[in-house]
Amino acid sequence: METKKLVKSRYNRQLCGVCGGFAEYFNVDATLIRLVWVFMIVFAGTGLLAYLIAAIIMPED
């Protein structure tokens, strides 16, 4: 049994691969993850900080 790891995507990336990594981990479309992230940036204000932290902490694929 293969264990899933949350890593930045090497192939499904726009900036750092964070959204692509989340999409691969949860097995959903990366566009959906990106839309949720934009929603968090615009309406909650915490999305940008969360993205930057994830970009620094998440290992490369």
2: pLDDT strictly greater than 80: no
pLDDT in tens, 6-61: 898 888 888 888 999 999 999 999 999 999 989 988 988 888 888 899 999 999 88
Sequential DSSP letters for 22-61: HHHHHTS-HHHHHHHHHHIIIIIS-HHHHHHHHHHHSPB-
Cα–Cα distance measured from residue 21 to residue 42, given in angstroms and rounded to the nearest whole number: 21
Confirm whether 41 is domain-assigned. yes
Confirm whether 1 is domain-assigned. no
Token readout for 14 is 């726009």
- The number of folded domains in the chain is 1
User: Is pTM beyond 0.85 here?
Assistant: no
Token readout for 38 is 């934009």
Confirm whether 36 is domain-assigned. yes
Cα–Cα distance measured from residue 40 to residue 10, given in angstroms and rounded to the nearest whole number: 24
Confirm whether 48 is domain-assigned. yes
Quote the domain boundaries for residue 45.
18-57
When pLDDT is cut at 50, 70 and 90, the band that residue 1 belongs to is low
